Amino acid sequence: MNKKVIAIANDHSASEFRKPIIEYLEQAGYEVLDLGTKDSKPVDYPDFGVKIAKAIVAQKAELGIAICGTGIGISIAANRFHGVRCALVYEEETTRLARQHNNANVIALGARIISSYKAVELVKIFLDTPISSETRHQNRIKKLD
C-alpha cells in the first residue's frame, strides 16, 4: 500500500523545530516530502509557502505542514494558490475545526510561538480528524473556490 504523503516546508526559524514533527510523521508511517530549509541561514518565508502550495496543487502531497516564526507569513503565501486551504493554528480546538469544518489541507505553525511538543500534538490532530460530511460545511468549502 502506498504511504500517504505529507509535505513540510519551513523557513530558517524552524530548522530545529521541524525535527520532531518529521520524526513523528516517519514513525507514524507517512512519507515526508521535505521542502523546508535545513539550517538557520535566513531565507524568505514566501518562497516556502509557494513550495508547499505547489506541491498540494500538483497533488504531490495530500496534506501539508507549513512553518515560519509565527506561521502568519507562510500561511498568507500558501493561501494565494487556488485549491490550498491553509489554516494557521496554535492550539487543539482550532486545529480540529480547521480540518472538520474547513477541510484545511495545510496547517501553518509558528515555531516562535508554540513548542515542538505542542506542534506534534497539533499535527496528530490535523492528520487524525475526519472532515465533516454535513452539507452546510461542504457547501461553504465549495464557495471558497
| DSSP 8-state assignment for residue 91 | S
Task: List the catalytic residue out of 82, 86, 101, 137.
Answer: 101
Q: Please list every residue from 42 through 101 that binds ligand RB5, using CB under 6 A.
A: 45, 68-70, 72-73
Cell numbers linked to 41: 541561514
State in angstroms the smallest separation of the CB of 125 from ligand RB5: 22
State in angstroms the smallest separation of the CB of 67 from ligand RB5: 8
Listed in order, strand segments (DSSP E) in the chain are 5-10, 31-34, 63-68, 86-88, 106-110
By residue count, the chain amounts to 145
Does the annotation place 85 within a ligand binding site? no
Q: Is 68 a catalytic residue?
A: yes
Amino acid at 8: I
Q: How many residues bind ligand RB5 (CB under 6 A)?
A: 8
What angle is formed at CA 133 by the lines to CA 104 and CA 131, rounded to 5 degrees?
30
Binding residues: 11-12, 69-73, 102, 112, 136, 140
Q: Which spans of this chain sit near ligand RB5 (rule: CB under 6 A)?
A: 11, 13, 45, 68-70, 72-73
